[in-house]
A and B are shown apart, each in its own frame.
Chain A
Amino acid sequence: MKPENMRVVNHPVAKVDAQALVTGKAVYTNDLAPSDCLVVKIVRSPHAHALIREIETARAEAVPGIECILTYKDCPDKRFTMAGQTFPEPSPYDRLILDRRVRFVGDAAAIVAGTSEEAVKKAMKLIKIKYDVLEPILDFRKAKDNEILVHPEENWKSLCPVGADNKRNLCAHGVSESGDVEAVLESCDYVVDRVYHTKANQQAMMETFRTYTYLDAYGRLNVVSSTQVPFHVRRILANALDIPKHKIRVIKPRIGGGFGAKQTSVSEVYPAIVTWKTGKPAKILFTREESLTASSPRHEMEMHVRVGADKEGNIQAIDLYTLSNTGAFGEHGPTTVGLSGHKSIPLYASPKAFRFSYDVVYTNVMSSGAYRGYGATQGIFAVESAVNELALGLGMDPTILREKNMVREGMAMPAYYNETAESCALDRCLARAKEMIGWDEKYPCRDMGNGKVRGVGVALAMQGSGISSVDTGTVAIKINDDGYYSLMIGATDMGTGCDTILTQMAAECLDCEMDDILVHGVDTDISPYDCGSYASSTTYVTGMAVVKTCETLRKKICERGAGFLGCPVEDVEFDGERVTNLKTGEFITRKDIGNRVMSFNNEPLSASEAFSSPTSPPPFMAGIAEVEIDKETGVAEMIDYVAVVDCGTVVNPSLARVQVEGGIAQGIGMALFEDIVYNKKGKNYSNSFMQYKIPSRLDVGKIRVEFESSYEPSGPFGAKSIGEIVINTPSPAISNAIQNAVNVTIRELPMTAEKIYRGIREKTERE
């Protein structure tokens, strides 16, 4: 179906839960938690690396209201991962709920549960822990093969062949290549050879990590949690507590943002073990400080890029080595790194050769996790920055260099698992972005005459749509009395609106109104299986499951309608409201069918289908930043940001637009000021919103978004993903704008005023 013929899809429908959200209804985890929950808090290690010699809890246990204090002695000695990934997880099984060895400042050392916050806080102060302090590894460049081991334990386990080796501090290692990179680079007229460094970043969703737990009438552990991955949480808790999966039920209410942070089971194990041990309801709310110091931020990466081209600017070879810092635990370590190469190099059609190699190392800082972009963001900063430096070296407009080299529809992408770009409007995206910003008038910069200069800079990006041959979405739809539908999904709306866009798709397929469909949030006891909302999978993967389910249900409705009308199914048509016998004009309404299947019925009128794709069609985009630099202070101010995105058919233009605007704002924060700073002993200084500054509405300038759609043949209504790609262009585009404005190249994020100022001064001194 063409987008212009669609009734519901491709229209800016308001979110189905909007009314509750804007009137502040009690729909989030902490709003729903029973008031008699035990308060759970964690005593955290003050050391980056230490062994617990002794824990003295008797005095703390004597505090009135304290229900239990748990130490490593109370936790199963069976390692697991908190990464929300499909089994077998690529992330190593390297965690215990509590371990004798603590591995970063903030690592959990003891769990305290009591009837009031005051009691728990008092008890926490009375717990005496004696540590044997060990030397930590804080520099990720020195971690590989260091004699200090972050995970020396014998029961550390890697389930997948990702090149992990705990005796070398390696969480993963790998190489993928095509052609002879060294020989091709040797033959190039011009080679850029640079190192780029991106820091860990916090997702900083407004709702911190939180979970409450209770036992139900069957003695099962019920878990209500702010999570992107309810089904994975069920497995993670079963592993952590060493109990059968059928003993656990996970429910996802409304979520106050995730951005990948909640693709790791950061908070669930703590109240879960308290409830499992005590039989009492329990709740943990991470403070903002805990959410900034003991969570799941973006992997810090250092990337060595070499890009070679001929004199005319035809890119011949790309070589990328990524060193990724997974921190104390390996959550998402082996997988994020892959995207740094597989989703950056393929932007450039088919160089004669490419090589992508990587190491992921353990260190004694907080564990990394999943953050929107998932490694692609880091890799694209490196590769796009290198391409911009190549343009500079060749004396070429960076947009012209890209027009020569970028991937186009129908081209093969050897560095993207040899997939073909079946849908790609990247060329149109770049052309439109140039028009919107007025590139030809503004490039490279304009002196504003007041000590300030405005530069423009460009970057391209891609992502995937789900994890190919892994991600699975299942959908069930049943018809109820009066013919209304229940749409059961296991995909987790975390504010992004998947409950809405999946309902839109169902309404389109079933020729009905949105109001005829009731959508259910996730309950692992009831919802059909879905791997969860991550890897930009929901629109594409679960969306296709909706389309397939609707097709099956329509057939069943026709069959049942024909049965009630007493005619062959070939003679009827279902228009969404009624099944009509085309020969006689006789009909039966959906309402009547819904009511009639509730009496003397031997077959439920429902359908359920699953979808998984062998490919992961990339969305593409072009971003252009206009940045004003104060030459006296180095302060960079965002003036304008234009983004043109090809996400295939846009399922909901207003929700998609806000995804783009939000992703760009996060990207601006990453580019200009968000930074996690540790001291020499591994203490995290960026532990509140005073130190870890996320952009306010005064920091982002103007953000303007348009769509240039291709049509993805394998996607629902031609759609691809949108959620992650949008964070990938700001860092390289802003870096390029600074470069074009003041001729200073910053290769380490964030690009603070201090770094820009120093660059300007060094340049002046040289001249």
Chain B
Amino acid sequence: MEVQFVLNKKQIRVDVGTDAILLNVLRDQGCKSVKCGCETTNCGLCTVWIDGKSRLSCSVLAASVAGHEITTLEGVEKEAAEFGAFLADEGAEQCGFCSPGFIMNVLAMLRELDNPGMEEIKEYLAGNLCRCTGYMGQLRAIQKYLEYKKGEME
């Protein structure tokens, strides 16, 4: 079947099976940042935005996004690099495999929450698993990035 949607600000049209999963369709479209870590919606690696909200692309049928707007890390590369530099300064990207999904959710959080506290941040990102870092470095990076952004605004 044919599905049309907006991918990273570009209108696209893809021919997919009725049971095609969005995750696979996005990877086939060259968005290799979108990773699969578990197949059971536990890990957060496949996080993309649908109409600006974080969703797990492993549990979304491609057919269901017709007419919607999808954003992957490739679509917010500049912002990802900006926050990513803070992550890298902490050494907290480590293997990097969970970074795209994690960064997508961090950027979604910054859009959704105003000046979030540490507990709020941990809750929001609880679905993004990371096996390398023990999470502390990620949290340091977020805190420093928030301070930097605040400084930028002032």
Taking Cβ atoms with an 8 Å cutoff, the residues of A that contact B are: 12, 14-15, 17-28, 31, 203-208, 254-257, 259, 287-289, 494-497, 652, 654-655, 657-658, 660-666, 688-690, 694, 696-698, 700, 702-703
Contacts and interface: CB of A to CB of B under 8 A. Distances in A.
12 contacts: A14-B88, A24-B72, A206-B45, A206-B129, A207-B35, A208-B37, A496-B95, A654-B137, A658-B92, A658-B134, A662-B134, A689-B43
B97 A257 contact: yes
A663 B42 contact: no
Contact of B95 (A25, A205, A288): A205
A25 B129 contact: no
Contact of A688 (B39, B72, B73, B125): B39
Nearest to B40: A688
| Interface size class, chain B | 35 or more
Which residue among B125, B127, B132, B137 has the maximum number of chain A CB atoms within 10 Å of its CB? B132
B33 interface: yes
Nearest to A704: B136
Interface string B17-35: 0000000000000001111
Given A654-B91, A660-B134, 17 more contacts: A15-B93, A18-B87, A19-B88, A21-B93, A24-B34, A24-B72, A28-B35, A206-B45, A494-B95, A496-B94, A655-B91, A661-B136, A662-B94, A665-B133, A696-B127, A697-B125, A703-B134
A496 B132 CA distance: 8
Nearest to B130: A206
Which residue among A207, A494, A662, A690 has the maximum number of chain B CB atoms within 10 Å of its CB? A662
Nearest to A117: B24
B133 A661 contact: yes
Contacts of A27: 96
B121 to A, nearest CB: 9
Q: Which 5 A-B pairs have the closest CB atoms?
A: A24-B33, A495-B95, A22-B84, A21-B96, A256-B97
Contact of A205 (B131, B133, B136, B137): B131
A258 B98 CA distance: 13
Contacts of A697: 122, 125-126, 128, 130, 135, 138-139
Contacts of A24: 32-34, 72-74, 80, 99-100, 103
A12 B84 contact: no
Contacts of A654: 89-91, 137
A696 B97 contact: no
B40 A18 contact: no
A206 B131 CA distance: 7
Contacts of B123: 698
A512 to B, nearest CB: 21
A661 B134 contact: yes
Nearest to B121: A697
Nearest to A653: B91
A569 to B, nearest CB: 41
A229 B3 CA distance: 43
Nearest to A660: B134
